[in-house]
Chains A and B, each alone.
Chain A
Amino acid sequence: MNAPDDVRSMLVESATRLLNDQVDQKMLDAAKDDGWSARLWHALEEAELPRVGIPEEAGGAGGTLSDLAAVLRVAGRFAAPVPLAETAMLSGWMLASAGLPVPRGPLAAGPAGDEVVRTRRDGRRWLVSGTLARVPWARVAARLVLLAQADQGAVVVSVDPARCAIRPGRNLATEPRDGVLLDNVVAEAAAPATNVTRSALRLRGALARALLTAGALERTLELAVRYAQERVQFGRRIGQFQAIQQELARFAGEVAAAVAAALSAAGAMERGSDVTLAVASAKIRTAEAAREGALIAHQVHGAIGVTSEYLLHHSTLRLWAWREEYGNEAEWATTLGGIIQKRGADAFWPAITTT
């Protein structure tokens, strides 16, 4: 129960090796212009990594949600400029849950917020309409997988972004966050949404960002520690100064908490035990850690850390972008606190101790 099982260790090892070989500063700099790295995507796809956690009968590679969580943590660590989370954790899950096959290629998912996508039958076809803001990776996706409302109920539809009007946008880290206009777009596939709900999609989105954040925090800590080991000021390594040591220790605590929260939430979602408590906690805690951690990383680095030549910003920009996506810490805390209060004081400790 305690040691990571062998399959997961191997998966993490191979993902780490692949990303370590593929992702370098040049790739990350190029992705700022292109929005992503097609080369990295193909390497990941060859290794079947975007299909982890998707059942084999849907065309996935099998494995559990916790397996996928472990991979996303690694992807966050390397700031992988690809829609791995959207493909495997969101779109792949939506399609597979609706009994639809999961096509190859990068996938985008939505909407997890208040926006409404409508769909209606037209003979054997489904026509999809709606306006969406800030869809992650829409312009590089092979398919947009959307939770649409029909008169008969919710439907999972898959559409070709080439049939939509895309207005390119980006987040702080220049990852694509695109406006999408659908005007009676013919769906490539559609099926009734049974387990896919807006709140379930939002929970998954939040979990995905929590996992990526945990990984990105690990990288920023690695960079800060290495810098403190090497940089000399006042005739000493700056890591020898207690003022720096205290900050690094606090930073390590934030990183450890982020890793613990994000992976624990994945386990809770896999088991289906008090998922909202777990995912909300993970999103809150990782966003708080992102705030503290990114600032300490920059403070330790001094001015070199705020340049676009130095590696750190690829991680910290993502931390600042991801903490807002799928709900920031204040939104989730208000939701979680509301639930806790409604359940009442005597239900609090039992809820904390369900896992």
Chain B
Amino acid sequence: MLFENVDFSALELPAPALKLREEVREFLKAEVAAGSFTPHLGHTEFDAEFTRKVASRGWIGMTWPRRYGGQERSYLERFVVTEEMLAAAAPCAAHWFGDRQTGPSLLRYGSEQLKQKYLPAIARGECYFALGMSEPNAGSDLASVKTRAERVAGGWRVTGQKVWTSWAHKAHAFFVLCRTAPDSGDRHEGLSQLIVELDAPGITVRPIRFLNGRHHFNEVFLDNVFVPEDRVVGEIGQGWKQVTSELALERSGPERYMTTFPLLVELIRRLGKAPDARAQEAVGRLTARLWTLRRMSLAIALTLDPGPDGERGAARATVDLATEAALVKDMGTFFEREIVDAARLLAAVEPTPDATDTFERYLAETIVSAPIATIRGGTTQVLRTLIARRLLGPLK
């Protein structure tokens, strides 16, 4: 059964989260009023100055222990910050991966030294991470990574190629999933995670331009790059388990259904107070979808919250909501496109990338970025296969 241990009817945000929401809204309102950023849809912008401001409010790494620069706040509070940032299309790229993925991984698997080195810097908004997962021949099939690390005196020598590495041209370091042992037949074995600084000798970063010419993707070449022993995350050979262990939160967060949300708000504005029944129905349907997705996402965040006694920052391992999380991503990314189509059909304007009207610009931005949401972080088809396997169990 799905959502077995979740009590949806009782699911409510606690008072501190509601208070925090007001603080985040005030902050964003002031930033927008001051013209500190121009909201863009499609992909979040890299803005180190904005990231430092967010950090100064204590909203990066906010669930982490205080000793690593965190605030020891709940997942729900983090949920609130994330959804408010998305609703405002705030430029969060600089801290996105550190806050969401590498930080939690370090907390769970990193050595004390690595935690001390990186976590407080991420939380201060001064250290930016990228993710070195995909390779030319390892996309959805991540376990087929070929990048190799050879043991040498004092560490490892890494050689290979990573691809689709967002913001590698601006980040300080990236998590590299690589092979540290020859293929034993089980492709999930012999993989490890290393932190590689992006200014290390032997690293070359080349842009891969998105179809609209924008630069956030890169390919990263590693040519015999030396990585000190202490940059190994967790255990050698356990990389696969480490990479897949925290997927539930990543797959089910508001970023899986809210990246086109500001377009919906602008659509509502454009339609006016009393549009025709066709427009009302479309807006009503989208509202129902959003409301439901948010309830599902919220339920997962709340259920995985380790609670005050748990190890802050590491999701509760006892509850398995991986299937539900994959469902949120599948339906959420589909919903993001439904917004785009509804906006397109109801407004009937020719999309123009440099439009001065916000609605029209958002529409142009989201049409061209629409294909990517159902590809990154696990394609729809791979997710569905995973979901079905869990539903069906082993068949032979």
* Complex contact A225–B285 (CB within 8 A): no
* Complex contact A260–B273 (CB within 8 A): no
**Contacts known (A252-B387, A253-B330, A260-B296); A334 close to B288, Cβ less than 8 A:** no
| Cβ-closest chain B residue relative to A64 | B9
* Complex contact A353–B83 (CB within 8 A): yes
Mark contacts of B3-33 with chain A using CB atoms, 8 A cut-off: 1 yes-contact digit, 0 otherwise: 1011111111110000001000000000000
Interface residues of B in 285-303 (CB under 8 A from A): 285, 287-296, 299, 302-303
Q: Does B282 contact A (CB under 8 A)?
A: yes
Name, among B281, B282, B289, the residue most crowded by chain A CB atoms within 10 Å (CB to CB).
B281
Q: Which listed residue, A1, A266, A278, A332, touches B291 by the CB 8 Å rule? A: A278
Mark contacts of A331-355 with chain B using CB atoms, 8 A cut-off: 1 yes-contact digit, 0 otherwise: 0111111101110111011001101
Q: Which listed residue, A228, A278, A333, touches B284 by the CB 8 Å rule? A: A333
* Complex contact B383–A285 (CB within 8 A): no
Mark contacts of A210-224 with chain B using CB atoms, 8 A cut-off: 1 yes-contact digit, 0 otherwise: 000000001001000
Q: Does B324 contact A (CB under 8 A)?
A: yes
Mark contacts of A248-268 with chain B using CB atoms, 8 A cut-off: 1 yes-contact digit, 0 otherwise: 111011011101110110110
Q: Does A57 contact B (CB under 8 A)?
A: no
* Complex contact A264–B268 (CB within 8 A): no
How far, in angstroms, from A263 to B287 measured CA to CA in the complex? 17
How far, in angstroms, from A253 to B289 measured CA to CA in the complex? 12
Interface residues of B in 84-119 (CB under 8 A from A): 87
* Complex contact A261–B1 (CB within 8 A): no
Q: Does A3 contact B (CB under 8 A)?
A: yes
* Stretch from A118-126, A143-151, A238-246, A315-323 that touches the partner: A238-246
Q: Does B345 contact A (CB under 8 A)?
A: no
Mark contacts of B260-275 with chain A using CB atoms, 8 A cut-off: 1 yes-contact digit, 0 otherwise: 0100111011011111
Q: Does A2 contact B (CB under 8 A)?
A: yes
Total A-B contacts with CB atoms under 8 angstroms apart:
215
Mark contacts of A279-296 with chain B using CB atoms, 8 A cut-off: 1 yes-contact digit, 0 otherwise: 011101100100000000
* Complex contact B8–A345 (CB within 8 A): no
Q: Which listed residue, A1, A340, A355, touches B287 by the CB 8 Å rule? A: A340
* Stretch from B197-205, B212-220, B388-396 that touches the partner: B388-396
Q: Does B384 contact A (CB under 8 A)?
A: yes
How far, in angstroms, from A281 to B295 measured CA to CA in the complex? 11
Q: Does A329 contact B (CB under 8 A)?
A: yes
For B385, the chain A residues whose CB sits under 8 A away are: 242, 245-246, 249
Count of residues in A whose CB is under 8 Å from the partner chain: 67
Q: Does A66 contact B (CB under 8 A)?
A: yes
Nearest CB on B from A313, distance (A): 22
Q: Does A270 contact B (CB under 8 A)?
A: yes
Interface residues of A in 78-108 (CB under 8 A from B): none
Q: Does A163 contact B (CB under 8 A)?
A: no
**Contacts known (A246-B388, A250-B384, A341-B271); A255 close to B285, Cβ less than 8 A:** no
Q: Does B38 contact A (CB under 8 A)?
A: no
Q: Which listed residue, B265, B285, B291, touches A261 by the CB 8 Å rule? A: B291
For A66, the chain B residues whose CB sits under 8 A away are: 7, 9-10
| Cβ-closest chain B residue relative to A345 | B269
Q: Which listed residue, A2, A261, A348, touches B295 by the CB 8 Å rule? A: A261
**Contacts known (A248-B388, A264-B11); A257 close to B287, Cβ less than 8 A:** no
Q: Does A20 contact B (CB under 8 A)?
A: no
For A2, the chain B residues whose CB sits under 8 A away are: 5-7, 10-11, 302-303, 305
For A261, the chain B residues whose CB sits under 8 A away are: 288, 291-292, 295
For B384, the chain A residues whose CB sits under 8 A away are: 245-246, 249-250
Q: Does B348 contact A (CB under 8 A)?
A: no
Q: Does A229 contact B (CB under 8 A)?
A: yes
Nearest CB on B from A249, distance (A): 4
**Contacts known (A1-B12, A249-B387, A337-B281); A256 close to B324, Cβ less than 8 A:** yes
For B137, the chain A residues whose CB sits under 8 A away are: none
Nearest CB on A from B65, distance (A): 22
Nearest CB on B from A56, distance (A): 21
For B389, the chain A residues whose CB sits under 8 A away are: 245
* Complex contact A341–B277 (CB within 8 A): no
Mark contacts of B309-347 with chain A using CB atoms, 8 A cut-off: 1 yes-contact digit, 0 otherwise: 000000000000001100100110000000000000000
A and B contact pairs by CB, cutoff 8 A, 9 listed: A1-B10, A3-B7, A239-B395, A249-B330, A264-B292, A267-B8, A278-B291, A333-B285, A334-B284
Q: Assuming A242-B385, A249-B388, A334-B284, what are 8 further A-B pairs, CB within 8 angstroms?
A: A2-B7, A3-B5, A244-B388, A245-B384, A248-B392, A260-B295, A266-B9, A345-B265
Query: 8 tightest A-B contacts by CB?
Result: A333-B284, A267-B9, A337-B284, A337-B280, A245-B388, A249-B384, A263-B8, A66-B9
**A residues with CB within 8 A of B:** 1-5, 8, 65-66, 69-70, 218, 221, 225, 228-229, 237, 239-240, 242, 244-246, 248-250, 252-253, 255-257, 259-261, 263-264, 266-267, 270-271, 277-278, 280-282, 284-285, 288, 329-330, 332-338, 340-342, 344-346, 348-349, 352-353, 355
